[in-house]
Homo-oligomer: A and B are copies of this chain.
Amino acid sequence: MNDLAFRVIGAAHEVEGRLEGALGTIGLSLAKLNVLKALADTDEPLPLSHLADRCCCVRSNITQLVDRLEADRLVERLPDPADRRSVRAALTPAGRERHAEAVRLVGETEREVFAGLGEEDRQALTRLLGRLGS
């Protein structure tokens, strides 16, 4: 009954820690993966504003993430000839590769983390989480 909020937060923190740990071994983080995922999903260069929308974060955050991803040579900035205000982010081949590795790693880690739960438990958990915040 009590402190359920902190239990949810604590559990998520644990899961996040596991994922960050796994991704750290290939030089990524959840934040970076999130950007790579958005780019891999649409499979074409995305204006940074669109990227911010898909990542559910503010534009200034994307600026910094793309800075770091560009330094990692996983993403590059392309000018948009049609709108000179706009900058589009594109996956490099290395970025596409790294994203694939990351997806594999995350899947593995997820399986480990939820190994203690059967299929029914997982559905129950999903359902319960979906009913929070009304």
Contacts and interface: CB of A to CB of B under 8 A. Distances in A.
A12 B14 contact: no
B114 A15 contact: no
**Range, interface on chain A:** 35 or more
A67 B29 CA distance: 29
Given A19-B5, A129-B11, A134 B119 contact: no
Interface of A: 1, 4-5, 7-16, 18-19, 106, 109-110, 112-117, 119, 121-126, 128-134
Interface of A is mostly: helix
Given A133-B14, A133-B15, A4 B128 contact: no
B116 A131 contact: yes
A117 B128 contact: yes
A133 B117 contact: no
Contact of A1 (B8, B115, B119, B132): B119
B13 A114 contact: no
B132 A5 contact: no
A134 B114 CA distance: 8
